[in-house]
């Protein structure tokens, strides 16, 4: 009897999961697409992509999949290109408790620009970010998948708010206990007031616990030493300029001794950068397994604030007044710069553009990230990532390499390559459908026809409405 019930139950279930023609019922079937295999740079024509729940369950020749599946939604992607959703590996949600809602309002904007995952690199509203992370995963909040460091580690009385202040190994251990209890996705460490030996202790202790780290490295320590300690990712390309100076350690020592200011030391790294030395150093860093998030767009915006006026940027319409106000800090700082400081910033950016392909040549994995969020003026959530990819191609990366930095490297860093990085069976259904081929022109990542987020297909009309709502919210907040 029991067996018979089980057999009937199985038959009922089979009927529910197949249509009259015996085709398996699924949620979305994207048809006649050209699938972009980012890893190889190949395009696969006339493919269908079968999506059920949050998963890609099959990819293959269109005719074969059309016979096999019956979908609630059929999406005709004739003449269109399908690739994995984009990852922005360096964003910030922050600016104080009063800006929580404005930050939350940024989430749909990321999706509308095809960014389906973001890595939040710490700020001052971590409790909210951690709550959003769960809500997005549960499907109750519309936004990209969030990976977050939670509050970052710093020394006592840093410039930054919302940090965990540590000054001893015991305090680092307690901080890591707390971060692990919050189930953070990685640990962010910055060096505003953090002692160099405590920085090194934190990197090593996190590694022992199996936690990835991402950092601004103190000038007292070479990047190679930080990599030997087990640092996971270096944020911002200027640290790789530092690593490319044969005088890196000596300049760092002069800074520690008070002979050079922070700004003077960073200028010295630029002045003493040596391409031949850097090549060898980057090979050593590659061997140590370090990743780099260049944040070139941010460097470029800050470097040229003297000659580019952003007050008319259309994208400002998406930024609420509170967040917009945080932009002033950088603008005011830039306005106070001397002509020599402005010149030094230009030189640093021009060198950054040359360093990026050197990192690629060394095989160092590049994480596409923008630094978008509060404080970082005119670096717009969503759009910024497309700008960043364009900067990479201008600097000499191929479009395929730029795409890989925004689809493959991020999941690899966070240990999620099994679920992300390709349009393939078993991967998460975070998918972009584009009107043009980004392998031939990287700007095509902006030509978004529709987005599949966590298995749900969102057409252009809905994406446009999402953007209109975001603009309305940002202006209403005024
Ligand atoms: Zn940042």
Tell me which architecture the domain covering 86-414 has in CATH: Alpha-Beta Barrel (3.20)
What's the CA-to-centroid distance between 152 and ligand 1, angstroms?
11
d(CA 69, CA 137): 27
When pLDDT is cut at 50, 70 and 90, the band that residue 82 belongs to is: very high
What's the CA-to-centroid distance between 190 and ligand 1, angstroms?
10
d(CA 124, CA 478): 22
d(CA 401, CA 175): 37
* Cβ–Cβ under 8 Å, residues 226 and 406: no
What's the CA-to-centroid distance between 344 and ligand 1, angstroms?
21
Q: Which pLDDT score is estimated for 330?
A: 83
The per-residue pLDDT for range 280-298, each reduced to its tens digit, is 999 999 999 999 999 999 9
When pLDDT is cut at 50, 70 and 90, the band that residue 1 belongs to is: very low
What's the CA-to-centroid distance between 90 and ligand 1, angstroms?
6
* Cβ–Cβ under 8 Å, residues 334 and 310: no
Would you give the distance in Å from CA 13 to the centre of its chain? 40
- CA-to-CA dists, residue 417 to 114, 291, 414, angstroms: 19, 15, 8
Sheet containing 164-165: order of strands: 164-165, 153-154, 187-189, 213-215, 233-235, 291-293
The per-residue pLDDT for range 285-333, each reduced to its tens digit, is 999 999 999 999 999 999 999 889 898 999 999 999 999 999 888 888 8
What's the CA-to-centroid distance between 478 and ligand 1, angstroms?
26
* Cβ–Cβ under 8 Å, residues 352 and 273: no
User: Residue range 392-415: average pLDDT?
Assistant: 98
What's the CA-to-centroid distance between 373 and ligand 1, angstroms?
8
Q: Which pLDDT score is estimated for 16?
A: 67
d(CA 298, CA 243): 20
Cβ-proximal residues to 430 (8 Å cutoff; 6+ apart), any chain: 84, 85, 116, 117, 145, 420, 452, 453, 454
- CA-to-CA dists, residue 89 to 219, 278, 468, angstroms: 24, 25, 25
Residue listed under structure tokens 């932009």:
327
* Cβ–Cβ under 8 Å, residues 173 and 189: no
When pLDDT is cut at 50, 70 and 90, the band that residue 477 belongs to is: low
User: Residue range 154-179: average pLDDT?
Assistant: 95
What's the CA-to-centroid distance between 236 and ligand 1, angstroms?
8
Looking at 38-141, list the stretches that DSSP marks H as alpha helix, in order from N- to C-terminal side. Answer: 62-68, 100-104, 107-112, 126-138
User: In DSSP terms, which residues pair with 234 in a beta bridge?
Assistant: 215, 292
User: Residue range 14-26: average pLDDT?
Assistant: 83
What's the CA-to-centroid distance between 171 and ligand 1, angstroms?
24
Torsion of CA 204, 185, 87, 463, to 10 degrees: -160
Tokens of 269: 């790294």
d(CA 125, CA 322): 14
Residue listed under structure tokens 């680092």:
172
Tokens of 180: 């692990």
What's the CA-to-centroid distance between 153 and ligand 1, angstroms?
14
Q: What b/e sequence results for 141-165 when a residue is b if at least 16 CB atoms lie within 10 Å of its CB, and e otherwise?
A: bebbbbbbbbbbbbbeebebebbbe
CA nearest to 46, candidates 21, 65, 27: 65
Q: Could you tell me the sign of the dihedral formed by the alpha carbons of 166, 171, 177, 181, in that order?
A: negative
What's the CA-to-centroid distance between 95 and ligand 1, angstroms?
13
User: Residue range 348-362: average pLDDT?
Assistant: 98
User: Residue range 365-378: average pLDDT?
Assistant: 93
What's the CA-to-centroid distance between 24 and ligand 1, angstroms?
45
What's the CA-to-centroid distance between 89 and ligand 1, angstroms?
10
What's the CA-to-centroid distance between 188 and ligand 1, angstroms?
10
The per-residue pLDDT for range 411-467, each reduced to its tens digit, is 999 999 999 999 999 999 999 999 999 999 999 999 999 999 999 999 999 999 999
**At residue 218, what are phi and psi to the nearest 5 degrees?**
-60, 145
What's the CA-to-centroid distance between 426 and ligand 1, angstroms?
32
DSSP 61-86: EHHHHHHHEEEEEEEE-TT-EEEEPE
Specify the DSSP class assigned to residue 372.
Answer: B
d(CA 69, CA 166): 56
Would you give the distance in Å from CA 443 to the centre of its chain? 18
Q: Which pLDDT score is estimated for 244?
A: 98
367: three-class secondary structure by DSSP? coil
Q: Which pLDDT score is estimated for 3?
A: 54
CA nearest to 432, candidates 468, 405, 409, 403: 403
CATH class assigned to 2-84+422-476: mainly beta
What's the CA-to-centroid distance between 8 and ligand 1, angstroms?
57
* Cβ–Cβ under 8 Å, residues 431 and 84: yes
Q: Which pLDDT score is estimated for 218?
A: 96
pLDDT for 217 beyond 90: yes
Tokens of 162: 């919302």
d(CA 54, CA 393): 32
Domain ranges of the chain: 2-84+422-476, 86-414
What's the CA-to-centroid distance between 91 and ligand 1, angstroms?
6
What's the CA-to-centroid distance between 170 and ligand 1, angstroms?
27
Rg, C-alpha atoms of the chain: 24
What's the CA-to-centroid distance between 371 and ligand 1, angstroms?
5
Tokens of 405: 């930095």
pLDDT for 14 beyond 70: no
User: Residue range 75-99: average pLDDT?
Assistant: 97
Average pLDDT, the chain: 95
164: three-class secondary structure by DSSP? strand
Residue listed under structure tokens 């599946």:
69
Tokens of 362: 């060394």
What's the CA-to-centroid distance between 149 and ligand 1, angstroms?
12
d(CA 212, CA 214): 7
């Amino acid at each position: 009897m029991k067996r018979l019930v089980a057999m009937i139950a199985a038959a009922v279930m089979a009927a529910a999961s197949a249509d009259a023609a015996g085709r398996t019922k699924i949620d979305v079937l994207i048809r006649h697409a050209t699938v972009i295999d980012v890893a190889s740079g190949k395009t696969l024509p006339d493919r269908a992509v079968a999506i059920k729940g949050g998963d890609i369950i099959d990819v293959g020749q269109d005719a074969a999949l059309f016979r096999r599946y019956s979908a609630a939604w059929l999406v005709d992607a004739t003449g269109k290109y399908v690739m994995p959703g984009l990852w922005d590996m360096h964003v910030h949600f922050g600016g104080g408790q009063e800006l929580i809602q404005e930050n939350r309002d940024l989430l749909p904007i990321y999706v509308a620009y095809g960014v389906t995952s973001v890595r939040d690199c710490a700020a001052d509203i971590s409790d909210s970010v951690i709550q959003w992370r769960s809500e997005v995963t549960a499907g109750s909040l519309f936004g990209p998948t969030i990976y977050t460091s939670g509050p970052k580690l710093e020394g006592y009385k840093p410039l930054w708010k919302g940090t965990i202040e540590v000054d001893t190994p015991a305090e680092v251990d307690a901080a890591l206990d707390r971060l692990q209890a919050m189930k953070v996705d990685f640990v962010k460490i910055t060096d505003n007031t953090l002692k160099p030996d405590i920085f090194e202790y934190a990197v090593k202790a996190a590694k022992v616990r199996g936690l990835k780290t991402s950092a601004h490295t103190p000038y007292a320590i070479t990047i190679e030493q930080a990599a030997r300690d087990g640092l996971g990712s270096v944020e911002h390309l200027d640290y790789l300029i530092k690593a490319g100076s044969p005088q890196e350690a000596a300049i760092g020592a002069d800074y520690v001794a008070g002979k050079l200011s922070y700004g003077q030391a960073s200028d010295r790294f630029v002045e003493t950068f040596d391409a031949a030395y850097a090549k060898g150093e980057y090979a050593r860093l590659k061997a140590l397994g370090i990743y780099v998030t260049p944040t070139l767009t941010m460097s470029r915006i800050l470097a040229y604030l003297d000659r580019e006026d952003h007050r008319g940027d259309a994208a400002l319409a998406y930024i609420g007044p509170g967040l917009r106000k945080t932009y002033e800090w950088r603008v005011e700082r830039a306005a106070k710069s001397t002509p020599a400081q402005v010149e030094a910033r230009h030189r640093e950016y021009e060198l950054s553009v040359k360093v990026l392909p050197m990192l690629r040549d060394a095989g160092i994995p590049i994480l596409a990230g923008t630094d978008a969020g509060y404080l970082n003026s005119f670096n717009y959530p969503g759009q910024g990532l497309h700008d960043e990819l364009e900067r990479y191609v201008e600097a000499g990366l191929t479009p395929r390499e730029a795409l890989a930095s925004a689809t493959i490297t991020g999941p690899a860093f966070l240990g999620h390559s099994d679920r992300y990085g390709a349009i393939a069976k078993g991967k998460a259904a975070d998918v972009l459908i584009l009107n043009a081929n980004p392998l031939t022109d990287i700007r095509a990542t902006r030509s978004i026809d529709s987005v599949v987020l966590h298995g749900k297909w969102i057409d252009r009309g809905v994406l446009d409405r999402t953007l209109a709502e975001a603009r309305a919210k940002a202006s209403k907040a005024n």
